[in-house]
Homo-oligomer: A and B are copies of this chain.
């Protein structure tokens, strides 16, 4: 059990991970961050009351959705209570004394490697080593005293592990944002909520997806995002995740959901929360 001096927030990765930067921005008061190896553990920790909140990335503007977390939202009983878009700036980080010319191996999480593909290619022929965390890669090259490698991570990670920044702004586009979700075991619809997320599955019949989306279009409810994920054990059938405008205290939204329930074989409300309008 974690001593509850502050609000407890679980995240995936090591200190200095981008999730920790997002977590600090969600709260005005001091928080206690709980690092975890996997996203699955992050969800479990909140579900079993070891942490009050979780902060997880759900989508990046260059690399796309983080599907594992879409799947975990379905598997675990947590609610989305907030979202935050964070501009991601990647740095190339090495042990003090290492120069760019010495670097033959680049370590980072596959998502970060994807966001820096062109920049990495322009650095010439270097081996790419995918790892399970950005900040964790910095920790690893420090602990293993790797002098011919560098890691891609946040400047915070460089600071925490007292490492050297070899190169700034590694991401292929300055428009590199990650959307993070704040998750809680308690459903909480704040007054300023203006966005709702749901997940549903439909029978594999012609026009079924069209009829599902129509319940929103008929009421002029705007859809922000639609995402499909395979239904495990039923190859080529899908779950649909939809984000739409409005919260569940709106009559219009309530009616849309009620109509949708009649059309779907499964429907789950993931939460209503305030939309982050950053960079739109």
A residues in contact (CB < 8 Å) with B:
59-64, 67-68, 85, 110, 114, 128, 130-132, 173, 175, 177, 206-207, 209-211, 213-214, 216-217, 220-230, 232-236, 238, 245, 279-280
Contacts and interface: CB of A to CB of B under 8 A. Distances in A.
Contact of A223 (B62, B110, B209): B209
A128 B110 CA distance: 14
A227 B230 contact: no
Contacts of A114: 68
A232 B64 contact: no
B210 A223 contact: yes
- The quantity of this chain's copies bound in the complex is 2
B64 A230 contact: yes
A86 to B, nearest CB: 12
A228 B227 contact: yes
Contacts of A61: 230, 235-236
Given A173-B233, A207-B222, A236-B280, 4 more contacts: A62-B232, A175-B235, A207-B217, A207-B220
